[in-house]
């Protein structure tokens, strides 16, 4: 069943399916925590894209670091991957450097690495990334690049929210 969406509230995004996938952000002064879970489709990526663009445009930073918890992330549709790559192109124009520490399960690290390396390689002058299955190692890597990220626990990450619940913010 397709969502009934007020086009004015969603910046004209058109949906062909219900959004599948969940995510949540936690913006701290020195770093961002992001959780991505489930299998994402284009509709989920469009909502994620709109929210992140809105945030970046309202508070651009020269250099930023993000820890992305993808331990419960599934796969993505090809259209979703293309939309996220568009977002990365946009972000590369706002940031001098963006450090991404991907926190993944050992069982999905190879698939994640393949997809993310393909997506990020065009932006390797701005995007810097590494993969970890131990959170402390992700924090240490970011701190080795001059960031001041405190030691974190899994409970520090926000709980993922289904993408369609973000529509009210657009």
Tens-place pLDDT, residues 105-143: 998 888 888 888 888 888 878 999 999 999 999 999 999
Residue 85 lies in a domain: yes
Q: Is residue 156 part of a domain?
A: no
Which one, of 107, 39, 113, lies nearest residue 76 by Cα? 39
CATH of the domain at 121: 3.30.750.24
| Proportion of the chain in helix, strand, coil states, percent, rounded to 5 | 40, 25, 35
Please list, residue by residue across 11-34, b when 16 or more beta carbons sit within 10 angstroms of its beta carbon and e when fewer do. eebebeeebbbbbbeeeeeebbbb
Query: 32 is in which domain, residue-wise?
Result: 23-146
Looking at residue 74, what is its pLDDT? 85
- pTM across the whole model: 0.86
Q: What is the DSSP letter of 97?
A: E
List pLDDT tens digits, range 83-95.
999 999 999 888 8
**Residue 12 maps to a domain:** no
In a domain, 8, yes or no: no
| Tally of domains in the chain | 1
Q: Please report the pLDDT score of residue 118 as a whole number.
A: 86
């Amino acid at each position: 069943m397709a969502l009934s969406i007020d086009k004015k509230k969603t910046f004209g995004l058109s949906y062909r399916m219900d959004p599948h996938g969940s995510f949540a952000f936690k913006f701290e002064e020195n770093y961002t925590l992001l959780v991505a879970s489930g299998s994402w489709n284009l509709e989920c990526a469009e909502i994620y894209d709109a929210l992140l663009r809105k945030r970046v445009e309202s508070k651009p930073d020269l250099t930023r670091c993000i820890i992305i918890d993808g331990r419960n992330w599934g796969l993505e549709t090809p259209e979703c991957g293309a939309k996220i790559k568009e977002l990365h192109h946009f972000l590369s124009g706002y940031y001098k450097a963006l450090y991404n520490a991907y926190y993944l399960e050992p069982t999905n690290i190879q698939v994640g690495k393949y997809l993310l390396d393909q997506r990020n390689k065009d932006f390797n002058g701005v995007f810097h990334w590494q993969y970890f299955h131990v959170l402390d190692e992700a924090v240490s890597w970011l701190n080795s690049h001059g960031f001041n990220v405190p030691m974190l626990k899994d409970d520090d990450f926000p709980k993922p929210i289904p993408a369609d619940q973000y529509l009210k913010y657009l």
